[in-house]
Chains A and B, each alone.
Chain A
C-alpha cells in the first residue's frame, strides 16, 4: 500500500538511538526473567523530529482552520495559557510536597473554583475529574451515595433521547438503569412523558441545557420541580454551557450537580482528544459528597481538605488535570465577566446567522422548528439524501475538499442525516459565509451530479477511508505486531 509517512517502526535501522544514555551492567536479575526480545524502533533524534513533524502536518487543528464540531466547542486556544502551564512551577511539582511548597497552584485552584462557582451558581467544585464523561460518572456516584445515605432505593436515571452518549454510559457505569424520555416536536423535553416517568425509583435526571439541538429547555424550572418533587436530583451536563455562558446559571435553574468541560467552554486545547478536565460542582445539599481532597483557605494558607464526611472518595489519582486548570484560569482572566458574556453572544449570533442562511439551501432542513438556537444548530440532510442519495457523510467529505473541517455528523441520533454545527465565538463571519457557500455548492452538485460527491474527498493527502475494511475481524489491524502477523499469515 502507498503510505504518506512510514510507520516509525519502518524507519528503524539497527544501531540508531534518539537519546544518549550511558550503558551499565546489571547482574542481580535471574537469567530466566531477563528480557530478550523488544521490538521498539531504532531511530536517531532527527528522524524522530521529522517523523512527528510530518505527522503533525497531516492533521487539522483550530490553528489550521475552522473546526465547527457541534457540542465540542472548539475555541481558539491562546498560547499564553499554554506557556504558563508549561512553567517548571507547574510541571515539576510533586503532589506530595508540603502545603507550604505548593501555595501557588493551590491558590490558582482555589480561585478557579470560586470563578466556576460564580459562573454556574453552584456552591462548591471538585477539580478532580479528568474529562466531561468522568465528571458525569463522578456526579452519578454522588447521586447514588446521596440516596443510599438517606436509606432510599432509587436506581433509575432519566435521560432525554437527545442527550450526549456519555450521559447514559456514565449512569450505567454508576449502576443506574437508564430511562430514556422522548423529545417533543419543539425539540424539548416532553413534559408529559417526564411526569409519567418519575417516581419512587427516580434517582435523578441528566440534562444538557441548551440541549444538543442548540435549544434552551425553557421549561427548565418545571422540569427540575417535577424531578425534585419525585425525590430525584438534577444533573447538568455542562458540555453546552457556551450557549448561556454569563447569561444564565444552572444553579439558578435548580440543578444540584454540574460538570464543566474546561477543554470546551474555557478554551483549553483538546490535544487530539485530551487531556481534558471535567470539574464537578454541587449545591449545599451535596457539598460533603465531593471527591477528596478539595482546596480550602484558612485565612492564611491554602490547604488540601480531606475532611468531607460523606465523600465518595476518589475518582482518579491526585487532584486533577493541573496544567489544564492553569490554562482555564488564565483564560478566564483574559475574558473577564464581560468577555465571557461577549463570548456567549458571539457564538449564539454566529449560530443563528448560519442557521438562517442554511435554511434557505435546497435539501437542508432545520428539524424541530425555527426557534432561535443557542451555541449550536443541527441541520438535517435527510431531504437531500432522499432526493439525491447524498448523505451527511458525503457532505462532510465534500466540505473537506473545500478546505473546511466538517461539523459533527449523525448526532444527535434523533435527527436523521444530522450535521451539527458549532462555530463558537472564535469563527469569523467570513469563514461562516464560506460554509454557507460550500453547502450551497454541494447542494447544487448533489442535485445535478451526485456521483462526484460519493468519491470525496479528493484534495486531501489520502482518499476516503474504508471503514468496513478497518472493522472486519479478518482485516482489522490494531498494532504493528498484528500487522506483521497478518503479513506473515498472508491476510
Chain B
C-alpha cells in the first residue's frame, strides 16, 4: 500500500523519511514479528461531505417524538442549551482522565463540584466521579456493602425490572441475592425483610421512588431494620425528587446510588448514562468505594488544587485486589449534570421537582376522572402506572397521534411518566386520547 495524504495523519507523506532515520527501508520490517494473514476490510473511504450525507440519511430513518409519556427511564427532561455548548468545548471533550493535575484542574474541579452537588442532593459526604449507569451503580454498591461487612448476601426489591436485575446479578455474581415481595404500593414489604434479615446480610437495597413511581415513605424504617443487624442500607434515589423530599442521608443511609440521566442529559436511546454513587463519611466505606474520587488539596506553593485521591483502591495500582475494575467512567456527562445542577441551584431544583410532582398529581387525578386507575397506591413522582387497558393497542393508537406511549409492564398495565416539559394542555390531550381509545375499544 502506498502512503497517501490524509487530514488526520499529518506524517503520512514523511513516513519514509522517518523510517530512514530509524534505519530501515521498508515499513514491513516493523511488522516482521506479526503473522501474515490476508484479509480485506472492505471499508470505503469517504470525504467529509459524503460522510455527513451518508450518516444523516441513515439517521433520518429514526423517528423523533415531539411528545413522550414513556416511564421507567430514560426520561425526556428539558436540557438547557448551554450544557452542549460547554461540554463540547475541546478542552473538556478531548481530555483524558486527569492523571496530571497541574494541567487538568478544569476537569478535576468540575468533578469535585459534581461530587459536592451530589452530596448536597442526597445529604451524604462523599461521592465518586461517576459510574457507568444506574444498574451498574447498584451492582457496585452491593459489592461495596459486601466488602465493608465481609458478608455475602444482599436484599433487593423484587419490583425492579428484569433488565436491571440482570445487571445486578452479573455484578453480584459471587453473592446471594434475596428478592423481597412488594406491597400494594409497589414498595418492599418491611415485615418480610424483618423476618428474613440476619447477620449474614451485607446490604439492603431499595429505591425511591420505586420502579412504579410511588414515593416510598418508609425509607427511615428500612434503614433502621438494616442497621439492627449491622447491614448497610443502600438507597437508589432519583436526584430530582430530592428537590422536594428529605434525602436518604437525613435518615442515616450508608450508600446512595442514582440515575444521573435526568440531570440535563438527553436520553440518546439509553446511550447517555450516568451512574451516581455516594456514601457517608465513614472511612470503612470510603476506603472500599469504587471508581475515581477527586479531592481538594494544595500545591507545594500553597494554592488550592484538586487531584485524584485514594488511587491505591484502584485497578492500575491494586490490580486484582482493586475495589472495582472501572477505569473510564462517564466524566463528560457528570460535567453536564454539574452544569445542570449549577443552573438550577437551590431554588431551581425545588421548582423543577415541584413542577414534575404537580404534573404527576394532575395526570393521575385526570386518569381517575375518566374511570381508570394506577396499578399501585401512593403518591407518585414522574412515573405512574395505568391499569386496565391493553397497553400495546394503546401505544399503537398514541403513535398514530405522534405520541410515544408507555412501557409495557404486563398486558394491561403500562408505565408512563410526565416531566416538567409537559404542559397542562399536553396532559389534557393525553387524557382526551385515552378517553377516545377507551370509547373505541
Contacts and interface: CB of A to CB of B under 8 A. Distances in A.
A366 B363 CA distance: 69
The 6 lowest CB-CB distance pairs between A and B, nearest first, are: A336-B45, A322-B271, A318-B270, A63-B90, A271-B332, A59-B106
A336 B295 contact: no
Given A94-B267, A97-B63, A170-B325, A333 B44 contact: yes
B297 A330 contact: no
Interface in A29-48: 29-30, 33-43, 45, 48
Contacts of A338: 1, 4, 45
A26 B361 contact: yes
Interface in B5-33: 6, 8-12, 14-15, 18-19, 21-23, 27, 29-33
A2 B1 CA distance: 56
Contact of B268 (A3, A41, A253, A322): A322
A272 B92 contact: yes
17 contacts: A56-B86, A63-B90, A84-B59, A97-B65, A131-B329, A141-B173, A165-B318, A252-B35, A269-B332, A270-B95, A271-B87, A317-B164, A346-B15, A462-B105, A465-B300, A466-B300, A479-B115
Interface residues of A, number: 206
A168 B324 CA distance: 10
A41 B170 contact: no
A9 B116 contact: yes
Given A169-B325, A314-B166, A346-B12, A333 B54 contact: yes
Interface stretch (B127-135, B148-156, B183-191, B221-229): B127-135
Contacts of A475: 297
Interface in B243-297: 243-247, 266-273, 281, 283, 286, 292-297
Interface in A308-322: 312-322
A285 interface: no
Contact of A108 (B18, B59, B93, B329): B59
B354 A269 contact: no
B125 A479 contact: yes
Interface residues of B, number: 193
Interface string A354-382: 00110000000000000110100000000
Given A115-B41, A465-B307, A316 B273 contact: yes
B126 interface: yes
A464 interface: yes
Given A105-B59, A166-B325, 11 more contacts: A18-B345, A33-B245, A55-B106, A96-B72, A133-B326, A168-B319, A322-B272, A356-B23, A372-B32, A400-B102, A411-B316
Contacts of A9: 113, 116
- Which of B15, B29, B339 neighbours the largest number of chain A CB atoms within 10 Å of its CB? B15
A158 to B, nearest CB: 12
B103 A460 contact: yes
A390 to B, nearest CB: 16
A415 interface: no
Given A45-B82, A104-B59, A314-B166, A480 B357 contact: no
A50 B97 CA distance: 23
